[in-house]
Structure 1
Amino acid sequence: MVTCYLRYVLDPYQIKAFEHYANLWIPLVEKFGGQHHGYFLPSEGANNIAMAMFTFPSLADYERYRQDSMKDAACIAAFQYAEETKCILSYERSFFRPVFGDQQQ
């Protein structure tokens, strides 16, 4: 199991546009076999930082999702929406594996 953590730097004047972008991606990740844990938008503190987390059964499954999403019409439209609105200034991606107490994963 691998969880992808995305940290976004947003245009603070485009938060609503980013929220729309987030709502586009949640079902798309799930369409390709991932489990989305949601997007987290600015509230208190920095007004231009957001994050998202989603999990795939393996890094290979995540890589397959990345390749397949580049050919999917709905994914391409979501990428184009972010580009057109310029709601995302930059992002970084990290991967984590969960620990659930003493259970072996």
Structure 2
Amino acid sequence: MITCTITYEIDPDQVSAFEVYAKAWIHLVNTMGGTHHGYFLPHEGANDRAWAMFSFPSLAAYEDYRSQMTNDPACQRAYAHARETGCIRRYDRTFTRPVLSGASPEALGL
């Protein structure tokens, strides 16, 4: 499994518009074979940062999704919304692999 974490710099005056964008992408990622873990919007602290996390079974599955989204009308509408509202100033993607199960320190030889 591969997980993509996106760190956004958003316009603090456009948080509502960003939330619309976020809800669209949660739906789109889930319908295109991924598992969306949610968007995390500003509440306390910095008012211009937001995060999203979603996973795909493999990097190849993520690349298939990226290929599909370039021609998908719903994806293009979501991108257009972000451009038109200016809710996203910039973003960075990071790919990680999750560790989802734990073990006792004894079982780990600690």
| Identity across matched positions, percent | 57
Query: Which residue is equivalent to 2:38?
Result: 38
Gaps of 5+ in 1: none
Where in structure 2 are the equivalents of 1:1-105 lying within 5 Å? 1-99=1-99, 100-102=101-103
What TM-score, normalized to structure 2?
Answer: 0.90
Gaps of 5+ in 2: 104-110
For residues 61-99 of structure 1, the C-alpha deviation after alignment (integer angstroms, 9 at most, x for no partner) is 001101100100000000010000010000000001011
RMSD: 0.7
Aligned residues: 102
Distance 1:92 1:3 in 2: 14
Partner amino acid for 1:101? Answer: G
User: Where does structure 1 differ by over 6 angstroms across 4 or more consecutive aligned residues?
Assistant: none
Partner amino acid for 1:89? Answer: R
1:26 Cα deviation (Å)?
0.5
What TM-score, normalized to structure 1?
Answer: 0.95
